[in-house]
Amino acid sequence: MKEACGVQEKAAVRDHMTKKPTKNDSKSSSGSERAHADKGSARTVKLSVQDIFGFPSNLQVEGFAERTEFVPEIDEAYHFDPETTLAILAGFNHDRRVLIQGFHGTGKSSHIEQVAARLNWPLIRINLDGHVSRIDLIGKDAIVLEEGKQVTKFREGFLPWAMIHGAAVVFDEYDAGRPDVMFVIQRLMESNGKLTLTDQNRVIHPHPAFRLFATANTIGLGDASGLYHGTNPVNQGQMDRWNIVVKLNYLPAAEEEKIVLKKAPSMDNKNGRVQVRSMVALAALTREGFAAGDISTVMSPRTVMSWADNYQIFGDMEKSFRMTFMNKCDEAEYPVIAEYYQRCFGTAMPELPKPAAGGRI
Secondary structure string (H, E, C) spanning 61-109: EEEECCCCCCCCCCCCCCCCCHHHHHHHHHHHHHCCCEEEECCCCCCHH
Query: Which DSSP string do the residues of 264-311 spell out, in sequence order?
Result: -GGG-SHHHHHHHHHHHHHHHHHHHHHHHTS-S----HHHHHHHHHHH
- Same domain assignment for residues 296 and 317: yes
Single pTM value for the model: 0.74
Alpha carbon 338 to its chain's center: 32
63/135 same-domain check: yes
Any domain includes 351: no
CA atoms within 13 A on the CB side of 307: 28
Q: Which residues contact 319 (CB under 8 A, 6 or more apart)?
A: none
Strand 98-101, strand 195-197: pairing: unpaired
Radius of gyration of the chain (CA): 23
Q: Say if strands 44-48 and 60-64 run parallel, antiparallel, or are unpaired.
A: antiparallel
In a domain, 21, yes or no: yes
- Residue 352 within any structural domain of the chain: no
Structural domain of 123: 2-247
Q: Are residues 218 and 270 in the same domain?
A: no
Q: 191 and 332: one domain? A: no
Q: Is the dihedral of CA 310, 313, 314, 315 positive or negative?
A: positive
CA 196 to chain centre: 27
For residues 12 and 159, state if they share a domain.
yes
- Residue that terminates a domain, selected from 247, 268, 294: 247
| Residue 359 belongs to a domain | no
* CA–CA gap between residue 269 and residue 57 (Å, rounded): 30
**Same domain, residue pair 221 and 276:** no
The answer to whether residues 136 and 241 belong to one domain is yes
Whether residue 261 is found in the same domain as residue 241? no
Asked if residue 69 belongs to a domain, the reply is yes
Whether 73 and 192 map to the same domain: the answer is yes
Residues 269 and 228 both lie in one domain: no
Percent composition of the chain: helix, strand, coil (DSSP 3-state, to 5)? 45, 15, 40
Could you read off the pLDDT tens digit of each residue along the chain, which spans 361 residues?
Answer: 444 444 444 444 444 444 444 434 433 333 333 333 345 567 899 999 999 998 999 999 999 999 999 999 998 878 898 999 999 999 999 999 999 988 877 889 999 999 999 999 999 998 887 677 778 888 777 777 888 888 877 777 888 889 889 999 999 988 877 777 788 787 777 766 787 777 777 788 889 999 999 998 877 666 656 566 556 667 777 888 899 999 988 888 998 998 899 889 999 999 999 999 999 999 999 999 988 888 888 898 889 999 999 999 999 999 999 999 999 998 899 999 999 999 999 998 876 555 555 544 4
CATH label of the domain that carries residue 168: 3.40.50.300
Do 16 and 110 reside in the same domain of the chain? yes
Q: Are 197 and 262 within one domain?
A: no
- First and final CA of the chain: distance in angstroms? 35
Per the CB < 8 A criterion, the answer to whether 210 and 201 are in contact is no
The count of domains in the chain is 2
Q: How far apart are CA 1 and CA 7, in angstroms?
A: 10
